[in-house]
C-alpha cells in the first residue's frame, strides 16, 4: 500500500530518523535502545543517536569454514537475555552487511522476525545492498516483510549515491511518523531520485540492470577478491569473512600484535587505506580482543590494486 | 574561502542543523534559545527544535504607511533586554520574510549585526528569497557578511525545490560543525543541485536568469497583488504589509471578529486556502491580539484566482 512507503534523503537519513524515533529519550521520560543482534555492523549508525549510548549489541558466534573463511552467526541465547534486560525500541540488522559481507541466513532472519514480533519490537532490516536492487548478493537469501518489519532500501548502490534517495517500507504508523520527521528536517526529500527510479521501474529496466549488469559486476569482483586473498595469504594465519554480499572483504588476524587502529596508521604511511575494525562494534561492552584484530577492505576496486594492497598488508602484519 | 561554505539538503535542513547546533540543550547542561528579533517569522522554523521552547521572539513595532499599508520594525529596546534576560545561542532573521514580504532595512540589519557581534552571538540571515539569487526583492537592500553572520541561501526559489540544495556561508567553526552534522544525518548532500548551479555560475547564467526572468516575474506578481488588494478592499478596514520581497501578501484585519484560525476554516469551506497568522509568531509569550488577526496569501498565482480569492475573503470577514 502507498501509505507504507516513505522516501527519504538517502538511507543514512532513514536511519537517523528511525533510530531517534524509536529509541533514545522517549516522551514519557524513559530511555530505549537500538539492539544490534550481530556486530560488526554498519559504521554509519555509530553517531546517529541524539542521546548517548543508544546501541546495545550482541557478540556473535564464529563458525569456521573451509579455506580460511568464517561466518558470524547470531547468538540467540544472548539476544533473548539482552532483550529482557534492556528497554529495546527496535532491532536493527543489515543484510548484506557492510563491513563483513555477511548475509544472515533465512533461518536467522525468521527467528529474528519471530522474536521481534513476540516482543512487539520493530525489526529494521537494512537492505541497502540487498534485493531487489542492487541485488549485491552472492548467496541464496529470501526477503520477507510484515507489519512489524521496517525495510530500508537505497538507490546509492545502483551508482546513484549523489541522488540521496532512501526508501522505507513500514507499517502506517511508522511511515507517517517518518514522513513528518522529513517535513521538519527537510520539507521534502529530493525528487530527482524517485523521478528516475519511477521510470526505470515502469519500463522494467531496473531489475534488468541489476541482474544483467550490477550483480554480475560485483559478483566477479567478490570472486576475484577471494582468489587474490587465497594467493596472497597462503601461509599466513588470517581469516576472511565469507563474502556473501556487498562490496567489502573483512579480514581477521587472530595473532595480530598491534591493534587494527595501529595497523591502519602503519598502512596509511604506505598509501594503503583500510578501515580498522573496532569502529564497527557499536554497543559492545565486553573486552573482546577480536574487535582489534579485524579490518575492512573495499574489494570492488581494480584487481591489481587490490593484490598490491593485500601484499603490503601481509608484509606489515608479518 | 571554500572552508566557509557548506552545502545542505535544502534550507530547511540548514536551519534544523543550525538551530540544534547553536541552541537547545548544550553539552555543559545549559540551555540556549534562538532569538527571533522580529515576528511573524517563517513557519518552517517552528517545529525544528529537538528540545521544547527553543525560540524567544520580540514583538515588532508597527509603522503605518500610505494606502492601508504597514511595515514591521524591530524594537531594539525590547531586543536588548531580551538578550540580557535569556541565554541566546543565535539570532535568526529572514530577509525577505516569508510570510510578510518584509525586508528589514539596511539600518536594522546593521544594528542587528552590531548587537550580535557585541554579544558574541551568531546572526543567522535567512536569505532564501534574497540576493544574489533568486533576488525576489522589490526594494533597495544590501547584503553584508562577516565572520559572525551565518548566511543561508537556497536553490528552491529558482524553481528547483526538488533538488533540495541549501547553501550556508559561515565562519569555519560553524561550517565544519555543519558539515559533520551533514555526515551523520545524510552522509552527503545530494549533488544534482550543486552540479547544475556550478555550471550556471561559471557560465554567468544564474545572475542573468535572476535579473531578466525571476525578479521581473515576481515583481510583476507583487505589483498586481497590491493593485488587486486596493481594488477589492477599498472600503474595508484591512492593512497589508508592504510587499518588499518574496511571494506572499500578509493581510491584517484589526477588527476581525473571529480568529484567523476560524477564518481559515470558513475559507476552506469555500475552497479558498490561506495560512492563519498565529502560526508565524513562534516564541511570543504575550497575548497580542494581532497574532489572530493576520493571514498569509500566496500572491504569485494567477491574477484572476487571486482577485476571486480576495473577494471571497472580503465577503467572509464582512
pLDDT, tens only, B263-294: 999 999 999 999 999 999 999 987 899 999 99
Model pLDDT for residues A72-101, shown as the tens digit of each residue: 999 999 999 999 999 999 999 999 999 999
Within 8 A by CB and 6+ apart from A307, the residues are: A228, A231, A232
- From CA A125, how far away is CA A140, in angstroms rounded? 17
Domains B2-202 and B208-317 share a fold: no
Percent of chain B with pLDDT over 70: 100
Give the residue with greater pLDDT, B190 vs B220: B220
Contact: A163, B190; criterion CB under 8 Å: yes
Is there a contact between B34 and B23 (Cβ–Cβ < 8 Å)?
yes
Model pLDDT for residues A193-218, shown as the tens digit of each residue: 999 889 888 888 999 999 999 999 99
Nearest to B166 by CA among B179, B177, B148: B179
Confidence of residue A182 (pLDDT cuts 50, 70, 90): very high
- From CA A198, how far away is CA A206, in angstroms rounded? 9
Nearest to B309 by CA among B296, B292, B290: B296
Q: Could you tell me how far CA B211 lies from the centroid of its own chain?
A: 21
Nearest to B105 by CA among B147, B131, B141: B141
Which residues, in sequence order, are bridge partners of residue A124? A92, A150
Find the mean pLDDT for residues B153-168: 92
Is there a contact between B74 and B104 (Cβ–Cβ < 8 Å)?
yes
Contact: A10, B187; criterion CB under 8 Å: yes
Is there a contact between B10 and B154 (Cβ–Cβ < 8 Å)?
yes
Confidence of residue B144 (pLDDT cuts 50, 70, 90): confident
Query: Residue B285's pLDDT is what?
Result: 82
Q: Apex CA A78: angle with CA A74 and CA A80, to 5°?
A: 95
CATH architecture of the region A2-202: 3-Layer(aba) Sandwich (3.40)
A259-284: buried (b, 16+ CB within 10 Å) or exposed (e) per residue? bbeebbeebeeeebebbbbbbbbbbb
Q: Mean pLDDT across chain B, nearest whole number?
A: 95
Q: How many CB pairs under 8 A join A and B?
A: 78
Q: What is the CATH number of domain B208-317?
A: 3.90.1150.10
Give the nearest partner residue to A13 out of B44, B161, B185, using CB atoms: B185
Instruction: Tell me the C-alpha to C-alpha distance, in Å, between residue A11 and each of A174, B7, B223.
Output: 16, 18, 44
DSSP SS3 for B206: helix
Confidence of residue B159 (pLDDT cuts 50, 70, 90): confident
φ/ψ region of A187 (left if φ > 0, alpha if ψ in -120 to 50, else beta) reads left
Q: Which three cell numbers stand for residue A128?
A: 541497502
Cβ atoms within 10 A of the Cβ of A147, count?
A: 12
Confidence of residue B184 (pLDDT cuts 50, 70, 90): very high
Note the helical H segments in chain B. 11-22, 76-85, 106-118, 172-186, 192-202, 205-209, 215-232, 260-269, 303-317
Contacts of A185 in chain B (CB under 8 A): 12-13, 16, 185
Confidence of residue B108 (pLDDT cuts 50, 70, 90): very high
Query: Residue B301's pLDDT is what?
Result: 87
Identify each DSSP E strand in B253-293 by its residue range: 275-276
Contacts of B191 in chain A (CB under 8 A): 162-163
Q: Which three cell numbers stand for residue B118?
A: 557585541
Is there a contact between B165 and B9 (Cβ–Cβ < 8 Å)?
yes
From B195, which residue of chain A is nearest by alpha-carbon distance? A162
Query: Residue A292's pLDDT is what?
Result: 96
Omega within 30 of 0 (cis) for the link into A96: yes
φ/ψ region of A271 (left if φ > 0, alpha if ψ in -120 to 50, else beta) reads left
- From CA B131, how far away is CA B116, in angstroms rounded? 22
CA distance B291 to chain A (A): 23
Query: Residue A144's pLDDT is what?
Result: 86
DSSP SS3 for A158: helix
Model pLDDT for residues B64-99, shown as the tens digit of each residue: 999 999 999 999 999 999 999 999 999 999 999 999
Residue A286: pLDDT over 80: no
Q: Where are the domains of chain B?
A: 2-202, 208-317
Amino acid at each position: 500500500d502507498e501509505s507504507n512507503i516513505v522516501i527519504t534523503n538517502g538511507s543514512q537519513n532513514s536511519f537517523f530518523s528511525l533510530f531517534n524515533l524509536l529509541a533514545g529519550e522517549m516522551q514519557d521520560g524513559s530511555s530505549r535502545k537500538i539492539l544490534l543482534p550481530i556486530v560488526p555492523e554498519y559504521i554509519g549508525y555509530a553517531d546517529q543517536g541524539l542521546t548517548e549510548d543508544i546501541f546495545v549489541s550482541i557478540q556473535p558466534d564464529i563458525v569456521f569454514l573451509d579455506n580460511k573463511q568464517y561466518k558470524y552467526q547470531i547468538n540467540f541465547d544472548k539476544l533473548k537475555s539482552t532483550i529482557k534486560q534492556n528497554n529495546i525500541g527496535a532491532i536493527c540488522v543489515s543484510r548484506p552487511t557492510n563491513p563483513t559481507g555477511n548475509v544472515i541466513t533465512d533461518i536467522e532472519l525468521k527467528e529474528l522476525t519471530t522474536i521481534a514480533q513476540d516482543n512487539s519490537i520493530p525489526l529494521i532490516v537494512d537492505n541497502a545492498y540487498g534485493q531487489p536492487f542492487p541485488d549485491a548478493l552472492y548467496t541464496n537469501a529470501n526477503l520477507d516483510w510484515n507489519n512489524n518489519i521496517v525495510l530500508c532500501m537505497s538507490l546509492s548502490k545502483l551508482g546513484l549515491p549523489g541522488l540521496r534517495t532512501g526508501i522505507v517500507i513500514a507499517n502506517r504508523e511508522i511511515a507517517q511518523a517518518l514522513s513528518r520527521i522529513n517535513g521538519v528536517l527537510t520539507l521534502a526529500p529530493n525528487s530527482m531520485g524517485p523521478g528516475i527510479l519511477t521510470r526505470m521501474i515502469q519500463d522494467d529496466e531496473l531489475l534488468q540492470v541489476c541482474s544483467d549488469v550490477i550483480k554480475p559486476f560485483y559478483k566477479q569482483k567478490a570472486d576475484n577478491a577471494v582468489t587474490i586473498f587465497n594467493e596472497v595469504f597462503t601461509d599466513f594465519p588470517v581469516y576472511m569473512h565469507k563474502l556473501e554480499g556487498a562490496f567489502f572483504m573483512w579480514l581477521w588476524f587472530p595473532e595480530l600484535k598491534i591493534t587494527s587502529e595501529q595497523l591502519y596508521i602503519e598502512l596509511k604511511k604506505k598509501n594503503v587505506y583500510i578501515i580498522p575494525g573496532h569502529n564497527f562494534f557499536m554497543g559492545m561492552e565486553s573486552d573482546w580482543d577480536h574487535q582489534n584484530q579485524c579490518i575492512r577492505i573495499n574489494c570492488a576496486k581494480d584487481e591489481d590494486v587490490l593484490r598490491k594492497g593485500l601484499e603490503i598488508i601481509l608484509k606489515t602484519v608479518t
